[in-house]
Amino acid sequence: MDISLRRTSLFVAPLCYLVSGFCWQADGLYTIAGGVWLIIGSVFYVFAFISLFELLTEKLPVYATMGRLAAIYGCICGGVAFGLRDIFMNLFSISHAEMMKALAIHPVMANIIFWVGGPAFPLSVLLLGIMLPVKKPVPVWVGILLVAAGVLFPLSRIFRMELLAHLVDGMMLIPLWYIGVQLRSGGAIAGYQVGV
């Protein structure tokens, strides 16, 4: 069951993020539905990242373990926390200025959850994009797309650039679906995994 869930997450997680990107409001917040899609996608990304870092376990066990930890931290703080933030801002009609003022009162929490935790997600994508083609039989194009997505993800979200966000979500979806198909079908990648 666990292996099946992790493999399925490679398909579901990026799809949920792609859908959430179509749920932005004019003020730059996710709609309530968008926040829900972001949270669901983030939960599935936890399992997707476990699968992806598992591909590196044999050759880089410490890196894979630390990478999983950082990636899960990024999913919780980068995805779930931001999704909940936008849901509650919508539900309670909280303006961006009010939210920033409230976060300034609690800088330790704001840093741990949003300003440090948030970047852990795209940083994990970036590092996977570098290491997967180097250490595993993953095509270079998979790495290039993941590196580009890791670099552009923060820009698309911070500046709420919708077209760029859709592009970034596609740059994550295509390689994860490719890896998922390879793992499910016993393709080139499947022979090199440990417990995936």
DSSP string for residues in 118-180: HHHHHHHHHHHHHHHHHHSS--HHHHHHHHHHHHHHHHHHHTT-HHHHHHHHHHHHHHHHHHH
Q: Is the pTM of this model over 0.85?
A: yes
Which two three-digit tokens encode residue 62?
Answer: 């410490």
> What does the pLDDT look like over 59-78, one tens digit per residue?
999 999 999 999 999 999 98
Q: Is the dihedral of CA 157, 53, 41, 14 positive or negative?
A: positive
- Are residues 183 and 7 in contact, defined by beta-carbon separation less than 8 angstroms? yes
> What does the pLDDT look like over 86-116, one tens digit per residue?
999 999 999 999 999 999 999 999 999 999 9
Which two three-digit tokens encode residue 70?
Answer: 């950082």
